[in-house]
Amino acid sequence: MGKFYLTTPIYYVNASPHIGHAYTNIISDCLGRFKRIKGDEVFFLTGTDEHGEKIKKAALADNTDVLDFVNNVSDNFKNLWEKLNISYDCFIRTTDSAHKEAVKQVIIKLNENGDIYKAKYSAFYCMPCESFWTDTQTKDANGKCPLCSREVEKVEEENYFFKLSKYEDWLKQYLKDNPDCVRPKTRYNEVNGFLDNNKLADLCISRPKARVSWGVEFPLDCEYVVYVWFDALLNYLSGIGFGVDQEKVDKWWPADVHLMAKDILRHHAIFWPIMVHALGLAPGKIVFAHGWWKIGDEKISKSLGNIVNPLDVIKEIGVDALRYFLLREIPLGADGNYSSEAIITRINSDLANDVGNLVYRTLNMAEKYFQGDVSCDDCLLPVEFKQSLQALSVRYINLMDDLSFSKALELIFSFIGVMNKYIEDTKPWALHKENNLSRLKVFLCELLEGIRIVSLYLYPFMPQTSEAINKQLGIDLIFSLDNIQWRAKAGFSTKKGKPLFPRIDVS
């Protein structure tokens, strides 16, 4: 059994979660569930990023005590993850005392290594991005923030710095030696391009308390707090017990995949590997930066005022329909256009017509012809299924390991299409009319066995649906890829439920 350590970004708690945040956690959940059914031991970490001026301002604007405010918004994230069936193992908050302690220990260690110094500092600050920019960087962006194009403010102060520049050559070599450490390829090229065109500046990792008070106290100087990004990135270590449980760290580190969107690629592909390396550890194996969900040409984001609340969406269409849409509609890495039309099309064609209809009519026949009792000792794999089922068993694991979720779904649905066609071609109603009940029973057993296998393949994407299917099949399936084999001896005692995915009427 392998281990698999998977992380999502920790989300800012200045506002409640939206569909963009839901996307990252749904992808991560899909990957985590897949690894579990494959037999790996998984540690899936998510959480909230709760420090920094932006958060304090949001609490002030809400007239709420900062701690109450962050507790409340953090709970909103937890609540959403529960509704979306996100099977995380640990929810970390940067206000947790163990996390704060880990941050302090890291700074003390880096200081002992000679990697931290104090100096005067002048830069342009973007509060929404919690990022500093140099003169040239802001000039190139017409005096605005190079990331989000919003206004920046000039800041001059004494601060503590981490010697990022000392590790520039190491990082370049590391990237060269590990061409898959940043994915997709476009993002890998972007990171290399950035390093080729910019000399790495040291990272300012403190903020004077006089200006920013909401943060982890800087362990070397109580007049300062730790820069929120430096604090936040360390969640990937504190979340597995850094500073308190070395055995746990040894067990899980390095992370196997850090998932996030492209907006925070540089923090994860430049700052983070250097921080970890400076601590004497190996960097996380893969940083995967996915694309953005947009409405029209604009990224969905709170500051642009175009957010979609996932709770509203699942009230309308259900959790698994949302999960399916997000995982199927775009390949991981690409941007996607979010619209109700696109969702309805997917629901009606793939979910209602294909999988929903297959399950519903098969169970209908099982009940109508055999009162739901369908078993058989000689249920051989029909030749009609062979090709697509074989393609699935050969490619599914590779596609999922590669995070090619949309392609994996395409394959599963092509098998579902084959089963639907098998019903049309076999004409079971005619078999019934001819009183050919033995063939009819084997035929239904073949379909039920096919549906059982489909429910296993679908499990990482739509766990609730897979469970519902198994209930309707009257079996107690353990979700493990060990159970993926076709069984010639199979028995079902079906209990037809409501259609899994009713069609949505658009008229």
Residues at the site binding ligand MSP, with contacts judged by CB under 6 A = 9-12, 20-21, 23-24, 49, 232-233, 235, 260-261, 263-264, 292-293, 299-301
Which residues on neighbouring strands pair with residue 49, listed in sequence order? 12
Which residues on neighbouring strands pair with residue 176, listed in sequence order? none
Question: Which residue's CB is nearer to ligand MSP, number 267 or number 346?
Answer: 267
CA distance 393 to 411: 10
Question: Which residue's CB is nearer to ligand MSP, number 268 or number 452?
Answer: 268
Question: Which residue's CB is nearer to ligand MSP, number 52 or number 356?
Answer: 52
Question: Which residue's CB is nearer to ligand MSP, number 10 or number 411?
Answer: 10
Are 233 and 271 spatial neighbours (Cβ–Cβ below 8 Å)? yes
Given the structure tokens 């601060």, which residue do they identify? 159
Minimal distance, residue 54 CB to ligand MSP, in Å: 10
CA distance 395 to 226: 46
CA distance 21 to 293: 10
Given the structure tokens 């309707």, which residue do they identify? 472
| Three-class SS state of 238 | helix
Are 84 and 229 spatial neighbours (Cβ–Cβ below 8 Å)? no
Minimal distance, residue 307 CB to ligand MSP, in Å: 9
Structure tokens at 237: 């270590």
Question: Which residue's CB is nearer to ligand MSP, number 23 or number 459?
Answer: 23
Question: Which residue's CB is nearer to ligand MSP, number 9 or number 243?
Answer: 9
Question: Which residue's CB is nearer to ligand MSP, number 49 or number 320?
Answer: 49
Q: Smallest Cα–Cα separation from 130: which of 205, 187, 183?
A: 205
Question: Which residue's CB is nearer to ligand MSP, number 12 or number 370?
Answer: 12
CA distance 21 to 10: 10
Three-state SS string over 291-343 comes to CCEEECCEECCHHHCCCCCHHHHHHHHCHHHHHHHHHHHCCECECEECCHHHH
Length of the chain in terms of residues written: 507
Question: Which residue's CB is nearer to ligand MSP, number 206 or number 348?
Answer: 206
CA angle 200/94/254 to nearest 5° reads 60
Minimal distance, residue 27 CB to ligand MSP, in Å: 9
Minimal distance, residue 67 CB to ligand MSP, in Å: 18
CA distance 147 to 303: 13
Judged by phi (left if over 0) then psi (alpha if -120 to 50, else beta), residue 282 lies in: beta
Counting runs of H as helices and runs of E as strands, what totals does the chain give? Answer: 21, 17
Minimal distance, residue 365 CB to ligand MSP, in Å: 42
φ, ψ dihedrals at 289, nearest 5°:
-105, 110
Minimal distance, residue 12 CB to ligand MSP, in Å: 4
Question: Which residue's CB is nearer to ligand MSP, number 48 or number 466?
Answer: 48
Q: Smallest Cα–Cα separation from 228: which of 204, 253, 244, 210?
A: 204
Minimal distance, residue 291 CB to ligand MSP, in Å: 7
Structure tokens at 37: 């059914």
Are 350 and 342 spatial neighbours (Cβ–Cβ below 8 Å)? no
Question: Which residue's CB is nearer to ligand MSP, number 21 or number 35?
Answer: 21
The continuous run of DSSP H or E covering 140 comes out as helix 135-140
Name the residue number minimizing CB distance to ligand MSP.
Answer: 20
CA distance 307 to 418: 39
> What's at 18, amino acid-wise?
H
Minimal distance, residue 10 CB to ligand MSP, in Å: 5
Question: Which residue's CB is nearer to ligand MSP, number 24 or number 137?
Answer: 24
